Structure 1
């Protein structure tokens, strides 16, 4: 099998060849067809993430060892089954992989809530477990592998366990608040911050999950990304250009009474501060992005306006199955896709790092 490894931070990934792995007793091996290039992969490559009060490095964790094969957005064909694997899956099935495995022993993992596991040391493509920048991958437990509906393509599916699932979780976290606004005010509105891959997913998810008349506004710093977003049917787009003062952007973005929900897929200092200024009474601010930094937010304003801040990190296996059912209808559109060979993955990672990727980049295996 062929794979791409991060051997040294900021160096080009190294292509290597190793034997195809054998499946664990209760696990499977997937022949990968598509693997998404996520910003988290880039963070591993640069070996740093801004936590606001400090810059953390992946290699500071003693359980994180280089070289590592990144990639956690994986779809493909079931290649082999473990000898005691108890599953309805069959060799040759088209499948998608849930990568957020957790420790497998705590109460959260036992209740299908691995994003809350305190020992997330076994995520595919991070630290311990090799990921999707490879022609094959071993998944230790078949319960994390889901058969695809016939109507869902493999390239579309590879993005669902991360960007699709995350945006669905963000929208469903805002759903009760938005529905309450609709009941009491007769109208509802949301602001989506960021028109990249996640933001484009979010437009489609919101149109299917939230009340049909919900006003959906999308903001971004790049007009080119907003032009793409308009094709996905938001109510309005707004440019947050760097030349404008923050208060000018707030005034240009806000509506009477404020938004019922802000879903921030950037989550930087400036986007968090603008989001709070644009949020209405009783609104929810869903923080998703991992841009980094800290923000100056009025703390008394949150209880005085009965607002809520909710962090979202991926989702559960159950939610991924719900996403697949939603996508089976054909009403959720994928972001624009750009395909790369494994040997050209550095081109995709560089575009993601510089914020220049339109839609999503994915690795295509023959």
Structure 2
């Protein structure tokens, strides 16, 4: 089958790879209808995530049709239209039982790598390096889905394919940031990043009762999309002092909840960007933590900061003093999608959440390298490049 493969730093190519097959009684094989780029994939492309090998199939957000079912699968059958959560959960370990699905004890087949990096191993994820299990990714014609009764969800008839696609990762990730970040009625919430995850975090905050939601970015098309499709307020950090503006809007306190939805390659207009970019390129630090620094500094005393963006290792100049002395709660996680997807599909069917606007560029899988170039460089207003295998 055809697949989009990582061949080296900033190098992608369409290759022929072996078709997936049932390996475990709980597997299904999904024929991919749509698969989409994610900001965290850019960290793979730039070489910031360890344990990538030439020829690895990338991609972790997808939906499609089940074409083969393992003998112990009970919830699905051939022909089902499903969306698949990017993180793989076994459904039986302590973490899955406690709805901490991305921390599954049984799905990362290479736990030693992340145990050395982070002290323990999270669950496996499709197409995201051998450190995260080495699973074949979704930018392909077919994908093997382990533990399908727990990770694949039937799409309601009212929800079209393109809308369902983003429930694979972007929508539950954003919802998790607002939910576990503690957003409640009457809160002011600030979200750093107006990409797909940032927009979904903003929408989740609104549905959870936030009184004021402000999304921060510098790309005009993304800011306009956030205002028009999400209904949140926006700020352009390249033209205003974000900390001062947020204090002005909150009676001098700052936001109750700050959600960072950018990750390890965040950007700014000041000297901190040059400092972090040079150190990151020289591999003197893994991550550019500009947005999470700003979120911590902007958050009100006693507030909550949630890190949704992907970070891989060590960051310099982390404001630990501000975190401690302001009495902040700092949380972060990869998405616990299985916890949220059924509820999110229902909300999508009722029209409470809209996602199809994120698919700014839909193209064939053969155009994958060009799609990633547009996505990475934010050309032609690209928010997400979607591929049709």
TM-score bucket of the superposed structures, by smaller chain: 0.7 to 0.9
User: 8 Å contact 2:87–2:125 — kept in the other structure?
Assistant: yes
Partners of 1:150 and 1:279 lie apart in 2 by 41
Deviation at 1:16, TM superposition (A): 1.2
Deviation at 1:4, TM superposition (A): 2.2
Deviation at 1:339, TM superposition (A): 0.6
Aligned to 1:192: 191
Aligned to 2:148: 142
Partners of 1:348 and 1:227 lie apart in 2 by 22
1:286-322, CA deviations, whole angstroms, 9 ceiling, x for partnerless residues? 1111367736455444344332111131114122222
Partners of 2:127 and 2:319 lie apart in 1 by 38
User: 8 Å contact 2:169–2:335 — kept in the other structure?
Assistant: yes
Deviation at 1:105, TM superposition (A): 7.5
1:1-366 to structure 2, matched below 5 A, reads 1-16=1-16, 18-19=18-19, 21-22=21-22, 24-49=24-49, 57-59=50-52, 65-82=53-70, 84-101=71-88, 106-109=93-96, 111-117=98-104, 118-120=120-122, 122-126=124-128, 127=130, 128-143=134-149, 144-175=151-182, 178-179=183-184, 182=185, 187-211=186-210, 214-241=211-238, 248-254=241-247, 255=249, 256=251, 257-267=253-263, 268=266, 269-290=289-310, 294=315, 296=317, 298-334=319-355, 335-337=357-359, 338-356=361-379, 358-365=382-389
Which has the larger displacement, 2-11 or 276-285? 2-11
Q: CA RMSD in A?
A: 2.6
Partners of 2:324 and 2:22 lie apart in 1 by 54
Gaps of 5+ in 1: 50-56, 60-64
The secondary structure found in structure 2 opposite 1:13 is: strand
CA separation of 1:302/1:24 partners in 2, compared to 1, >3 Å: closer, same or farther? closer
The secondary structure found in structure 2 opposite 1:231 is: helix
1:180-227, CA deviations, whole angstroms, 9 ceiling, x for partnerless residues? xx5xxxx4211111111112222322222234xx11111112233212
Q: TM-score, normalised by structure 1?
A: 0.83
Deviation at 1:231, TM superposition (A): 0.3
- Matched pairs, number: 338
Partners of 2:311 and 2:371 lie apart in 1 by 18
User: 8 Å contact 1:326–1:332 — kept in the other structure?
Assistant: yes
